[in-house]
Amino acid sequence: MNTRYALGMDFGTNSCRALIVDLEDGQELATSVFEYPSGDHGVLSDPKDPNVARQNPRDYTVGIEVTIKEAIERARDVRVSFDPSNIIGIGVDTTGSSPMAVDQYGIPLACLPEFEGDLDAMVWLWKDHSSYDEAARNTELAGRIRPQYLGKIGGVYSSEWFWSKILHCRNVAPHIFKAAASFVEFCDYIPALLTGDTRPGMIQRSVCAAGHKAMYNGAWGGLPDKEFLAALDPSLADLRDRLYSSVATADKRAGTLSPEWAEKLGLPRGIAVAVGAFDAHMGAVGASIREGTLVKILGTSTCDIMVWPSNRPLADIGGVCGIVDGSVLPGYLGIEAGQSAVGDIFLWFVNHLVPDSFGKTTEEKFRRLETLAAGQRVGEHGLLALDWNNGNRTVLVDVRLTGLLLGQTLHTQPYEIYRALIESTAFGALTIINRIEEFGVPIQEIVNCGGLASKNALLMQIYADVTGRPMKVSGSDQTPALGAAIFGAVAAGEEAGGFSNVRVAQEKMTRVGDTFNPDPTAHKVYQDLYRLYHQLHEAFGTKEWSGSMFNVMKDLLALRDRQRL
């Protein structure tokens, strides 16, 4: 039998990527990246409102064609025997919640001449925060009349999510809302597009997007009920009928590749197109997630993913963003937590507060800071920071929090602050780990993926030392696309040369790379520092805390003096 391949499509914030993977051993044969041409690196903004972040759906269509064709070319270059007719399935992940308004044929309103250039007709990108008022109303209403809705999303509905955005569209762009036959998530739109049928009623909706962002749950009959939606706004109750009443996991087919797309791309007709999901969730699959594994996707912000058997009881984990059946692996609850800013904090610091003596470019500065910070003993800098420059997602679920740095003297150096900032994100990570375990989900293994995991060895070592746990790094540095390819192969099925289920596919196609082991001496010191971090965390982050802060600077100086000897 010929070697079979699957194709993973990963749609990020600034670019999309196609990846061709060998199903025999998971080898990543060829990849191609397409930078979105619209706006600023693919993001359309509104000079009048800094919260607005939109995307042009045309960028996606172009991106599919460019990247898949180029990946096929490259695969041919690296392997003479490669034949695209042996690609048996396609999986798709995207950012989210990133909904858009579509007409009755599923054509994005943004692509219709009458809405040409209308920002509100575009895709409302995940990081669009213009609907913060609507989010607050949603949280308030659910807390009052549907507390169960909040139980699965950590207690707070976000301005990044589906209903906030739709309602804000209704409020600020009624012409778009009225013209919309339905609203479709980015991750549902792409698979539908590839199958050749984007009619809203025919689109296979992803449980991942629906469950995590649209408060969809089988336990209460799918989407929020009409009474609730009407209380938000009567038009949303009407809209409910034009959305969806069933969802699917990503191991299922959205459909098969349409003849038009097959021809355009040089792929076989009729191959499986899997149901879509979000990048972090498919990334977790590409990073070998299974029961007991915490996958951390470390980027500008952080997404922490775990799974838990659906048939085993699990309490709502306070402060954890989402618990959704099947959002990661079929048959498992997907548990999603996260830190609102990690890499973004370092970028902010390096771009705004590091002099050019550390390097001419951001990258040079990072390298120099890392070298100098790595030379320090734990606690030698005497600093302690809170990683809240963008609020705190898990476990406090509070955007109205800010950064904090203390311990600075007249001698404090930028690389010391850099190290303290990395440590603050490690303490934040440990807080999430503790919270998940306190609610009865043991963590046996931690696998890290994303840019920071593969590029920042200092960060990985600090994470190991702070948590006292080995930090594994995923063997792939494109885990979302790899995860998507896995789902493509599972959706294709065994008979087509794919796999019967995700677990089997993961065993063949994923691996773990380097491991950073904790240094017990460093861990011991970090336990003391974490106690101080936790004290600040509780003091500034919770209503309940009350006590003295006098010890904080004293303890930190004493620890510093011990470590400097």
Give the binding site for a copy of itself (CB under 8 A): 341, 344-345, 348, 352-356, 382, 386, 388-390, 400-414, 417, 539-543, 545-550, 552-554, 556-557
CB of 391 to a copy of itself, least distance (A): 9
Please, which residue, 211 or 428, has the CB nearer to a copy of itself? 428
CB of 123 to a copy of itself, least distance (A): 23
Please, which residue, 179 or 406, has the CB nearer to a copy of itself? 406
CB of 349 to a copy of itself, least distance (A): 9
Q: What's the sign of the alpha-carbon dihedral 196, 261, 209, 45? A: negative
Distances (CA, A) of 221 to 215, 217, 224: 11, 6, 8
Please, which residue, 245 or 402, has the CB nearer to a copy of itself? 402
Please, which residue, 334 or 407, has the CB nearer to a copy of itself? 407
Backbone dihedral region of 423: left (phi > 0), alpha (psi from -120 to 50 degrees) or beta? Answer: alpha
Residue 460: strand, helix, or coil: helix
By C-alpha distance, which of 514, 504, 512, 513 is closest to 24?
504
Alpha carbon 344 to chain centroid distance?
Answer: 14
By C-alpha distance, which of 84, 106, 95 is closest to 5?
84
Residue 278: strand, helix, or coil: strand
Distances (CA, A) of 239 to 166, 178, 187: 10, 10, 20
CB of 465 to a copy of itself, least distance (A): 23
Please, which residue, 311 or 546, has the CB nearer to a copy of itself? 546
Please, which residue, 237 or 406, has the CB nearer to a copy of itself? 406
**C-alpha triplet 278, 283, 289: angle, nearest 5°:** 120
Please, which residue, 390 or 448, has the CB nearer to a copy of itself? 390
CB of 198 to a copy of itself, least distance (A): 36
Please, which residue, 383 or 471, has the CB nearer to a copy of itself? 383
Backbone dihedral region of 5: left (phi > 0), alpha (psi from -120 to 50 degrees) or beta? Answer: beta
CB of 259 to a copy of itself, least distance (A): 47
Q: From CA 175, how far away is CA 163, in angstroms rounded? A: 17
CB of 540 to a copy of itself, least distance (A): 5
Kindly give, in sequence order, each residue whose CB lies less than 8 Å from that of residue 158, ignoring residues fewer than 6 positions away.
Answer: 135, 164
CB of 234 to a copy of itself, least distance (A): 31
**Contact assessment for residue 21 and residue 28, using Cβ atoms and an 8 Å cutoff:** yes
